[in-house]
Amino acid sequence: MNYNYERFQSPRPETPEPGSRQGRRNAAPGVQLLDDDGAISEQLETCLKHIFAKYCTPPPADVASAGKCLILMTPPEGAYLSETGLDAWAKDTNGAPFSEETKEELRQFLDVTDDGDLTFKGFLQIYQLQTENDEEETWRDLSSHGFDRTLTLVASRREDLEDSNHTL
């Protein structure tokens, strides 16, 4: 029989299926990136706290004990991403620091300190917008920081593992 296979393949494979909602695709049962109101889920916020804590100033108190282990960190109250922290996070997440133009847009539109440093609230705003618009990009970011599709921290970044001679 001759089948028209184009009929079965979506012309936009990254587009959610009809009836599905962003934040719920390609995840294990019970795992959501966004809650029913479209806000960041508690599960995702826990992951984002850990990622933010790796780069924030001041560093979390538990950073020394976390080391290369699979321990979720929490940023201290009032923490922020300095320009150095922002560059390190962007490089580890996307392979390169943000351009000056992008940094200026972040300062203009997101929650920042009086000195223009990104707060955790601003960090959440980035992921809120990104997840609403491109859920797969958020999954890629989470994966690059060691989280699987169940939002479980399963590994450090490859570079971290190589730096510690493959010991966790």
Would you kindly state where each structural domain of the chain is located, as residue ranges? 42-152
19 has a pLDDT exceeding 50: no
User: pLDDT-derived band of residue 70, with 50, 70 and 90 as boundaries?
Assistant: confident
> Cα–Cα distance between 50 and 114 in angstroms, integer?
24
Mean pLDDT of the chain: 80
Burial class (CB within 10 angstroms; exposed 0-12, middle 13-18, buried 19+) of 1: exposed
What global pTM score does this model have? 0.76
CATH class belonging to 42-152: mainly alpha
Instruction: Find out whether the peptide bond into 11 is cis, omega within 30 degrees of 0.
Output: no
φ, ψ of residue 87 to 5 degrees: the values are: -60, -45
Q: Quick one: average pLDDT of 98-107?
A: 95
45 has a pLDDT exceeding 50: yes
- Look at residue 47 in the predicted model and tell me its pLDDT: 97
Q: Quick one: average pLDDT of 72-96?
A: 96
* Bridge partners, 118 (sequence order): 81, 112
